[in-house]
Amino acid sequence: MSTPTPLAPLVDFLRELGVREGGVLLVHTAFSKLGPLAGGPAELIEALQSVLGADGTLVMPSLSDDDDQPFDPRRTPCRALGVVADTFWRLPGVLRSDSPHAFAARGPAARELTAPHPLDLPHGADSPVGRVHARDGQVLLLGVGHDANTTLHLAEALAGVRYRLERHVTVREAGRARRLPYLEIDHCCERFALVDAWLDAAGLQSCGRVGRAEARLASARAIVDVVTARLRTDETLFLHPFGHDAECDAARRSLAQSPA
C-alpha cells in the first residue's frame, strides 16, 4: 500500500514548480496519477489554495457530462473531468458558470471568470479560459498532458483556424429542454502533445513529478503565443492525416467547406 503524500511537501512542490501566490491558476488534473492523499481530492485543492493564498484564484473545468440533458450549475456533475474537478465545484465559496461548458472558480477573480459566456464558442476570448489568459493566469497540468489543456483550444480560436465539428448542447428555456446545435473547434486532441516540445524549447514550461504524476506549469499567455504563431503558419498542425481517426477526418473535411 502506498504511503499518503503529506500536505506540506505538496505545497512546497507547487511553489518550487512556480505557482504564483496571488495569481490565477487553471488546473487540469488526474487524481489517480498523483498518488494517495490522506484527505483525498479536497486535500489537493487545499494545497493549491494554500500556494495561491487569499489573493489568488483557483479555476477548474466543470463541463457537463451529458450534452443531451439541460445543465444545472447547482446539480450537474462533471465526473468525466475527474474526481478533483467534480469535488471542487461542490465546495463552499466556489462559483460555477451557468453553461454546459462550465468552469468553476474560487477567489477574488471568481465572479469575473465565471460570468456568462457564449455557448457556441466554448473556449474563445470571452470564456473562462479566455479570461484566465487575459489576466495572465497560469495553467497547471497535474497527471495529465496537453491533450487535456483547454487553453490550446483558445489558441486555435485566436489563431483563426477554420476547422469545426458538429456539436450540440441542451438548454432549458421556458421550462422546456431545447437542443442547440453549434460548430466547435475540435478534433481528437492527441497531437496537442506537440506543445510539450515547443514550450520546452522556448524555456516556457516548468516540469516536475509528485507521486506518480508528471506536472507541467506554464503561463496561459506563453502557451497561446507559442501555439498561435505555429497555427498561423499551418492551421492543420493538430490534425492527424486522413484515415487516423473520425474526429480529425471530420475536421479536415470541414476545411473544404470553409472560406479560405
Q: What is the pLDDT of residues 46-97, one digit of tens each?
A: 999 999 999 999 999 999 999 999 999 999 999 999 999 999 999 999 999 9
2 inside domain? no
231 inside domain? yes
User: How confident is residue 109, by pLDDT bands cut at 50, 70 and 90?
Assistant: very high
The C-alpha atoms of residue 35 and residue 28 are separated, in whole angstroms, by 16
Least confident range of 38-47, 108-117, 122-131, 193-202: 38-47
User: How confident is residue 1, by pLDDT bands cut at 50, 70 and 90?
Assistant: very low
DSSP at 107: S
230 inside domain? yes
Give pLDDT, residue 111. Answer: 98
* C-beta of residue 87 within 8 angstroms of C-beta of residue 31: no
The C-alpha atoms of residue 213 and residue 119 are separated, in whole angstroms, by 33
The C-alpha atoms of residue 164 and residue 162 are separated, in whole angstroms, by 7
147 inside domain? yes
Give pLDDT, residue 27. Answer: 98
1 inside domain? no
Q: Could you tell me which residues are beta bridge partners of residue 191?
A: none
Give the ranges where 66-219 is alpha helix by DSSP (H).
83-88, 110-113, 128-134, 151-159, 194-201
Collect all residues with Cβ–Cβ distance below 8 Å to 201 and sequence separation of at least 6. Answer: none
Mean pLDDT, residues 100-113: 98
**Spacing of C-alpha 134 from chain mean position:** 15
Candidates 139, 100, 135; CA nearest to 217 is 139
Q: What is the pLDDT of residues 156-204, one digit of tens each?
A: 999 999 999 999 999 988 889 999 999 999 999 999 999 999 999 999 9
Q: Look-up: residue for cell 450540440?
A: 168
Report the DSSP pairing between strands 57-61 and 138-142: unpaired
* C-beta of residue 109 within 8 angstroms of C-beta of residue 26: no
* C-beta of residue 72 within 8 angstroms of C-beta of residue 65: no
Mean pLDDT, residues 207-231: 95
Collect all residues with Cβ–Cβ distance below 8 Å to 228 and sequence separation of at least 6. Answer: 155, 158, 159
Q: Is residue 223 scored above 60 in pLDDT?
A: yes
Domain range for 247: 7-256
Give pLDDT, residue 56. Answer: 98
**Domain count of the fold of the chain:** 1
The C-alpha atoms of residue 52 and residue 175 are separated, in whole angstroms, by 40
58 inside domain? yes
- Give 176: exposed, middle or buried? Use CB within 10 Å, 0-12, 13-18, 19+: exposed
Global pTM reads: 0.94
